[in-house]
Structure 1
Amino acid sequence: MASQASTISTKRLGEDYVKLLQDPIPYVTAHPLESNILEWHYVLRGPPDSPYTGGIYHGKVNFPPDFPFKPPALRMLTPNGRFRPQASICMSMSEYHPKTWSPLWTVGAVLNGLLSFMLDTDYGVGVVQSSDQMKQELAAQSWDFNLKDKTFCKLFPDLVEEANQRKNSLYITIT
């Protein structure tokens, strides 16, 4: 059963969402569920000059009912060669480190930190090791993988359209 958001967390998450829409973060998109402001879904785009180039990586952030006073739980859903799919990710801005958490960190800051951690090579809970070649193969597969997820398709229709355009252009190129 989902916990109820406090008035403070609802207000803060709403403000953070407006900030993300007005001032997007490069390579990061995020939306809360309509039915639960405490559950957000994000997509990280693989930055150029990284082994993730061309990939789209869907994940989930669960905020505690007393956010921003406690940190969120982060998970990556798309296989990517850096994070174990569905596993909780340990980083300084996550539930694993409540003592280092700052209520000043916004949703955007957390997701930007996650992208930075994805591009790093530090090891931790929820992290896997793989070759750059494997990461590149998973980047190529990420579009089809995400299209099988109903929540992804509902929250990110622009990426679904982009994926379909990519498929159509590939089909045209092959035929």
Structure 2
Amino acid sequence: MASKGAIVRLRKEYNALQKEPVPFILTKPLESNILEWHYVITGPKDTVYEGGFYWGKVVFPTDYPFAPPAIQMITPSGRFTPSTRLCLSMSDFHPETWCPGWNVGTILNGLLSFMVEETQTSGSIKTTDEQKKKFAGESLAWNKSNAKFVELFPEL
């Protein structure tokens, strides 16, 4: 069960993201659980991810913002192992580097920045640019084959 502080903070962040969305990223919490947010990153232009739609989730701890979330990408991307927790400075792998001033927007911006670079970490994989481009081209059809994705993001 989320703390009152976590609920208030996450609702505030959701409202802020509705007014000013993060470029290339659509995000929303589950209606049934404010601690579980789903996102779709649209592959940025002039990257190997261009044209791709990458679905993932961020699971916040009950004491957020005082502890970091778990982050994973569900869609095959050629960059991350699908449905595997990612080791990032703003994830639950590194509570020592977590900053309570970070928010959903900064977390997802950080994920996007990490996605388009080549640094390896737990949860990342190494593939060719051609493989990444292939995954980008197949990503939306792959996502649409998942009922949960269709339920969460009917606009896509």
Q: Does TM-score exceed 0.5, indicating one fold?
A: yes
TM-score using structure 1 length: 0.88
**Paired residue for 1:135?**
132
Aligned to 1:30: 27
Shift of 1:74: 0.3
Give the structure 2 partner of residue 125 of structure 1. 122
Q: Structure 2 unaligned runs (5+)?
A: none
Letter in 1 for 2:90: M
The letter for the 2-side match of 1:29 is L
1:3-14 superposed matches below 5 A: 4-14=1-11
Q: Tell me how large the CA RMSD over aligned residues is.
A: 0.6
Tell me the amino acid that sits aligned with residue 140 of structure 1: G
Which has a greater percent of helix? 1
Cα distance, 1:149 vs structure 2: 1.6
The alignment's TM-score, normalised by the length of structure 2, stands at 0.99
Match of 1:55 in 2: 52
CA distance in 2, matches of 1:17, 1:154: 19
CA distance in 2, matches of 1:105, 1:149: 30
Decide which structure has the larger Cα Rg and report it.
1
Do structure 1's residue 20 and structure 2's residue 20 form an aligned pair? no
Q: Which residues of 2 match residues 64-143 of structure 1 at below 5 A?
A: 64-143=61-140
Q: Letter of the 2:148 partner, please give it.
A: T
Aligned residues: 156
Post-superposition Cα deviations, 1:69-94, rounded to whole Å, max 9, x if no partner, equal 00000010000000000111011000
Aligned residue number for residue 143 of structure 2: 146
Q: Residue type matched to 1:5 in 2?
A: A
CA positional deviation for 1:40 = 0.6
Q: CA deviation at 1:24?
A: 0.7
